[in-house]
Amino acid sequence: MNYIGLEPEPHPNLVSYYQVPIQHTDDGKYIVYLLKNFKRVFTSDTLPSYIKSKLTFANALYLTKISDDDVEPYHFYIFNDNGEEETAWRVSDSNYTVVLPIDNLLELVGLQDNNDTREKSKRKS
């Protein structure tokens, strides 16, 4: 299922953190919903490690099986005891919510570099 209009929402308890919806497709891709009508698609090889670790955590704590067919967009923003509210949780078999700091979110959107603090060369060619 493709969810239209999903986007990160501010975490209700953590300042500068966002609840980011992620969908794992049947063909092994991860769709990360970053802005309304803007998403990025990753493979398991290209998915950032800070997201992979949170998905692993959510998978380990997934107790209640919820059908993908029953998922509505609002389910991504309601913690359901299938993970950790301040890290990540599984919404259903194929859907997740991960909690990311604003820096990671901006990096995924492309509005911030990956914190490379090395000084760039000041020499002109």
pLDDT digits (tens, 9 = 90+) for 81-116: 878 889 999 999 899 999 999 999 999 988 766 555
Burial of 58 (C-beta count, 10 Å sphere; 0-12/13-18/19+): buried
Which amino acid is residue 114, in one-letter code? N
What percent of the chain is modeled with pLDDT above 90? 52
pTM for the full model? 0.84
| 3-state class percentages of the chain: helix first, strand second, coil last, to nearest 5 | 20, 25, 50
DSSP-derived secondary structure for 74-85: GGGGS--SSEET
Under the banding of pLDDT at 50, 70 and 90, the label for residue 121 is: very low
